[in-house]
Amino acid sequence: MIKNIQEHDWPQVKAIYIEGIRTGEATFETVDNVPDFATWYRSQIAKSVIGYMLDDEISGWGALLPVSQRKVYAGVAEVSIYVRLSKAGLGIGTKLLEALIDYAENNGIWTLQSTIFPENKASVALHQKMGFRVVGYREKIAQQYGRWRNTLLLERRSTKL
């Protein structure tokens, strides 16, 4: 079941985020940089911050982030999805991405983008299954733990706007 994330959900959401960070395949962020709830929540498009409930716990979360503060990019958002490792393969990522796409389609967001490490094949496959296409490859875009990493830029255009 999809639910809107509230402040009291932060311990579970944060734990899933940290678990994703520790894989080394989800984000350039580090555990030392995980913000408090208020800071994290303010960086997201508020009504897009969702969790997936399974077995009475948040088993994954997703959100859309504005890609820019410039008004002309108000309809472009970046996708974030994290699933508890113990719940991988249960379709939770699909359900979260479906809900984020639905939110975007009904709230004036015409482009969704996601930056993914090429090695994160499950995430690339999920996005492509949901209509995203690879539009860019960024070589040695940033370092992670002292090692240069490449990323793929995937994008999905609205079917309504």
At the topology level of CATH, where does 2-112 sit? Aminopeptidase (3.40.630)
pLDDT tens across 26-38, in order? 999 999 999 999 9
pLDDT tens across 97-114, in order? 999 999 999 999 999 999
The average pLDDT across 45-70 equals 96
Check: CB of residue 97 under 8 Å from CB of residue 81. Answer: yes
Reported pTM: 0.95
Where are the domains positioned within the chain? Answer: 2-112
Question: Alpha carbon of 71 to those of 68, 75, 77, 132: distances in Å?
Answer: 8, 9, 12, 24
Burial class (CB within 10 angstroms; exposed 0-12, middle 13-18, buried 19+) of 115: middle
